[in-house]
Structures are given as structure tokens and as C-alpha cells.
Amino acid sequence: MSEKRRVLFVGEASYLATGFSTYWNEVIKRLYATGEFEIAEFGSYAHDDDPLVRAVPWKFYPNVPAQNDKQGQQVYHSRPTHQFGEWRFEQVLLDFKPDCVVAHRDWWMDEFMLRSPLRDKFAFIWMPTIDGAPQRDLWLDSYRQCDRVLTYSQWGFDLLTSEGGPGIPLVTVASPGADIEVFKPVPDKRQHKANSGLLPDAIIVGTVMRNQKRKLYYDLIEAFAGWVQRSKSKGHLDLARRTFLYLHTSYPDGGYDIGKAIREFNVGNRVLLTYLCNACGVAYPSFFAGDWTHCRHCGQLQAHPPNASQSVSRETLAHVINLFDLYVQYSICEGWGMPITEAQCAGVPTMALPYSAMVDHLECPGAIPIEVERFFYEAVIETEQRRALPDNRSFQRELDRFLRLSPAQREEISKQVRDWIVEPVEVYGQHERLPRRSWERCAAIWANVIRECPIKDRTTTWLNPSAHLCQPDMNPPHQNMTNAQFVRWAIAKVWCRPEMVRSFMAGEWTRWLSAGFRIEGPQRVPVDRNVVVQHFAALAQRRNEVERTRVASLRESDPNQVPYRVI
């Protein structure tokens, strides 16, 4: 019997409540259950001393050092990218020795894996979040260095195909799913609302988005308030009275002051939020009551809007979504937008902009596009991509049209939405069809991609007993080299990676050297020839250190005593 493929999943810890966490949790647990793969997970935001780590059934590597590990904490906080795993990645690789490394986050979170000195030991399968156009050339160059590339959406797949050319090893789309047995329509929506303390005939327009910059909560509240005023001015008082905006989000957070927006647009009696009690664990809908309030059930001052670290269960989230008659995604872009899937799975029709991955969701029956008022471009310190702003008047028109549908018409649309979600469709790499937005289909796609990905003979990679070290040449051949020649020399002779001299990364270093600086976050960092040499010399040194450690672990010896061959 052949040895199981060893697969390392890298991302945000699968037991957390983020979108990345949920995705990996649903995929990994299904692949683990098959027994076909040897699985390990490297989880960001998981602490060495977190008791939840011990409950994970597969091998798990936390990324955050224990609180009492002062030295580890200092290193962890020394660079922003360490939160994504860069500082511990090689340590995890040397311990687990994977055949495949799999990642599924944004470029700036995961690109460090391509720079690893152990990159030649494993196949790298990446599903980056493609949420806007154009894609930077640096990102496209990184995707070309992968063994396999997947995308969250068909929109993202088509974009990489058109912008990246044939060099990107695109395979397929592995869109997130939803638990179709948890997120499903309730038998009686009126009774469901009444059981939650709402009017049985209330019409709920809801959203589930984190309160962050690109999720336009202030705009959504303003647009909804405009609809309320317009509806009242036309004499539709009963419709306005029965219609509420429901926000399942965190507060406060890094996005918007939701309380201020509610007060500014005078909709304090029209906007509901979910509150979660830390004392009794009950979650319930309430008009806005600040960041902390007395729990409606136990009376303690322990209720607050949920967040990533103190979140509701998937079952409770399904309960909340089933209160909605219409779901709206008011954001400038989406890599996917998992709550849209969960809403559609529960039979809730959705509204979204026809841009980025939201285009995929608008294929669902009953989906309503919100017109784009205009596009804008983000600054160089962000993504430089085009983003979409919703047209508030379009939202108000479409909302009004939907609210005028009869209950029977809305119920028929709900049935069409649910039927589309659970319709069996083709699965990459296999003949059996599976429900369109099920996690079973998503996990099956990943299993097939991992099976097909070529891997290297472990005796020539992880188990090779010989250390191959590089000897940097620190002396430029002559002083009158152009900046481009100097960078290519540094990459080939100092870093000892001649295959990278024609990469876009080399072009970036040439550009920075010519300008005399590079942008790192909001700051300019000086760049001269000495900086270039030091940078690539450090990479070479790190490469040698890791290679010595790898061979020493096989020999159970001191890394400094390992014999080696210079390459």
C-alpha cells in the first residue's frame, strides 16, 4: 500500500468563527474523515496555551506563542506578516514534512510560503481571494509559481484567465458551501419571528457582514432610512411600520459607528442587531443598545453584538438568517461572501452588486442586482484595484419592488432559491454529482485536486540525508552595473536563486532601487544597493540554516556538525 499523502492546511484556525476558519473546518473535517490523507493544520490566531487546540482531532500547529513566552511574543509581534504564520512556517514544515501545502487566503497573507527556503520540498496549492480587478503583476507572478491554483468564484477564475495568461496553473473553482441541513427554510416564518420576539408580520431586510471598511454599513443604513421616508411620503405607512433592517455584525469594530449612523438617519426604531449574552449564552434580536447592555433573558450586563472571538453557533446564525425575508450585501467587493450562500441555502432571496464574486451569487433565481453608482480605485498602500459603490436609489427601488410582492410570491421565490442551492451539479474530478452549494461538493473538489497534484519523492526532498548549502558571492563583478543588472546579480549570486532573475519580484526590486525607496504599509523604506545585498544575503543565510536543521533532524545531531555540499 502506498504511503498517504501528507497535506498541511494553512489558514486561520479552523475552530474560530471567521470565514477562512469556517471554510477550512468544513473541508478538513470531511477529508480527515475519509482516512485517505495524513492531515495537519497550521492555524493563525491559535495560541500555544489555548485549550481548544487539544480538541482538534487532526495534528494542529498553533501560530501564536503562549502568553508567558516573552521571547516568542517579541518575535511574533516584530513583523505584521507573522500573524499569518511567516515566523513559524519553516518550523512546522520541518516537523510535519508535507507533500502538499494548501492555502486559501489573500495574497499578502500567504505569499510568504512561496519565499520559504523549503519551497522545493513541497507542492503548493493556493486558492487566493480574487476580489477585484486589475490584479497586480506581482500577484500574478506569484500565482505562476504555484503547482495548482483554484479560485473561490467563477468570476475570479475568469479574471485570472484573462489577466494572467496561460502561465497560471488554474484548475477549477471551489466555492464555499453551507451546511444544507442547518441552513434551511423554517416551516413557518411567521411563527419563527414571533418566537424570537418580533412581529409575526414583520418584513426583515437583513445582512451578515463584519463591521469593516469595505462593508458599507453607514451607506446601507442611509439607503434604508431613505426608503423608509420615501415610503411614508407615499402613504405606505403600514409597509414602513412592518419593515426592519437587521444587522448581524460586530460593534464596535474597525469599520463604522453604527450607533451614530442610526441616530443620524433617525431609524432607531427600524434597525435591529443580534445581541449575545456572555453569562447565559442566549442570542436574541434587539434594537440598538450600544456595545454592552443588560441581557433580555438573565438580566446581567453581559450582552453585546457578537464578534469573531465571541460568536454565535452555526445553528444560531441559521436561526437569525431565517428571520430575514431578503438578504442584502452592501460592500465594495467580495472574495466570495459566505453569508450570501448561507442565506440562499435558507431560501432567502438576495441583493448584491454585480461586481467581483457577488456576480456568482446573482446567478441564483430571485437574486436582485443593485446598480453600481460608480467605481473607484484604491490607493497604492491598499490594492490599487477598482471597487464598486452601490447606488442607493437603485437599492431603494429594488427594495420597494420586492416588498410589494405578495407573501405567496415571496414564498415561491424562496422555494426556487432553495432548489437551486441543493440541485446536484458536476464535481471537478469525479462523475458523482453533489448539491451545488454543499460542503460535501467543496471538500470533494479539494480531495480530487490534492490527489491529482504531482508530488516529489520524499527521499529526494525531506528525507535526503545530504545538506545542500549555497555559498553567496558578495562581490559584484563590476561597479558600473545598471540597477537591473545589480538586482539580477544579487538574486543569482547572493541569494543563489538564478531561476528568479526574470521574475516580477526582481523587477520590483529594480524599481525600488531606482526610486531609492519602497512602500511598506503607510511608510517609505529607503532602498540602496547595500540594502539589496543585505536582503538577499539574509535569505541565503536563512536557507542554509533551515537546510542544516532539516538534515540534523534526520541524523539527530547538531546542525553545526552536519556535512554539506555547496551548490
Write the DSSP assignment of 529-560 as a string of letters.
HHHHHHHHHHHHHHHHHHHHHHHHHHHTS-GG
For the entire predicted model, the pTM comes to: 0.92
pLDDT bin (cut points 50, 70, 90) of residue 557 is low
511-546 pLDDT, tens per residue? Answer: 999 999 998 877 899 999 999 999 999 999 999 999
Which residue spans of the chain are classified as CATH 3.40.50.2000?
Answer: 189-423
Q: Where are the beta strands (DSSP E) in 409-512?
A: 424-427, 430-435, 467-469
The reply to whether omega before 252 is within 30° of 0 (cis) is yes
Is the confidence at residue 505, as pLDDT, over 70?
Answer: yes
pLDDT of residue 502: 85
| CB atoms near residue 332 (< 10 Å) | 24
pLDDT of residue 468: 86
Q: How many Cα atoms occupy the beta-carbon half-sphere of 509 within 13 Å?
A: 26
438: Cβ contacts below 8 Å, ≥ 6 apart: 177, 178, 180, 422
Closest to 104 (Cα-Cα) out of 335, 358, 331:
335
> Per-residue pLDDT tens for 157-202?
999 999 998 899 999 999 999 999 999 999 999 999 999 999 999 9
* Residue ranges, CATH 3.40.50.11930, the chain: 5-176+438-460
- pLDDT tens digit sequence for 307-350: 988 899 999 999 999 999 999 999 999 999 999 999 999 999 99
Q: What is the pLDDT of residues 202-258, one digit of tens each?
A: 999 999 999 999 999 999 999 999 999 999 999 999 999 999 999 999 999 999 999
Cell of 320: 437569525
Look up cell 520524499; give the residue. 458
* Residue indicated by cell numbers 431613505: 226
Whether pLDDT at 558 is above 70: no
Would you identify the CATH topology of the domain 5-176+438-460?
A: Rossmann fold (3.40.50)
Taking the C-alpha atoms of residue 391 and residue 223, their distance in angstroms, rounded to an integer, is 9
Q: Tell me the three cell numbers of residue 310.
A: 465571541
Share above pLDDT 70 across residues of the chain, in percent, rounded to a whole number? 98
| Cα distances (angstroms) measured from residue 436 to each of 41, 127, 128, 473 | 26, 19, 21, 55
Percentage helix, strand, coil, to 5, in the chain? Answer: 40, 20, 40
pLDDT value of position 443: 98
CA-CA distance, 360 to 337, in Å (whole number)?
10
Question: What is the three-state SS of 342-355?
Answer: HHHHCCCCEEECCC
* pLDDT tens, residue by residue, 265-297: 999 999 999 999 999 999 999 999 999 999 999
pLDDT attached to residue 523: 85
Instruction: Give CA–CA dist 34/446, Å, rounded.
Output: 13
Burial of 560 by CB count in 10 Å (0-12 exposed, 13-18 middle, 19+ buried)? exposed
Rounded to the nearest 5°, which phi and psi values hold at 403? Answer: -65, -20
- Comparing C-alpha atoms, which of 39, 150, 59 is closest to residue 103? 150
- Picking from 487, 514, 518, the residue whose alpha carbon sits closest to that of residue 503 is 487
Q: Are 327 and 349 in contact (CB under 8 A)?
A: yes
Consecutive H or E run containing 286: strand 283-287
Query: What distance in Å separates the CA atoms of residue 434 and residue 427, rounded to the nearest whole number?
Result: 7
Q: What pLDDT shows up at residue 261?
A: 98
Residue 61: predicted pLDDT: 97
- The 3-state DSSP class for residue 437 equals coil
pLDDT by residue (tens digit) across 76-123? 999 889 999 999 999 999 999 999 999 999 999 999 999 899 999 999
Cβ–Cβ under 8 Å, residues 344 and 419: no
Counting every residue, how long is the chain? 567
Which SS3 state, helix, strand or coil, does residue 207 take? strand
Count the Cβ atoms, other than its own, within 10 Å of residue 421. Answer: 25
Q: Across the chain, what does the average pLDDT equal?
A: 95
Confidence band of 1 (pLDDT split at 50, 70, 90): very low
DSSP, collapsed to helix, strand or coil, labels residue 391 as: coil
Q: Give the whole-angstrom CA distance, residue 157 versus residue 174.
A: 10
Residue 34 has pLDDT above 50, yes or no: yes
Rounded to 5°, the CA angle 342-344-346 comes to 70
Is the pLDDT score of 422 beyond 80?
yes
Residue 467 has a pLDDT of 87
Rg from Cα positions in the chain: 26
CA dihedral 548, 553, 556, 560 (to 10 degrees): 20
Name the 3-class secondary structure at 7.
strand
Q: Residue 564 above 80 pLDDT?
A: no
Domain topology for 189-423? Rossmann fold (3.40.50)
- CA gap 137, 503 in Å, rounded: 10
Mean pLDDT of 545-556: 89
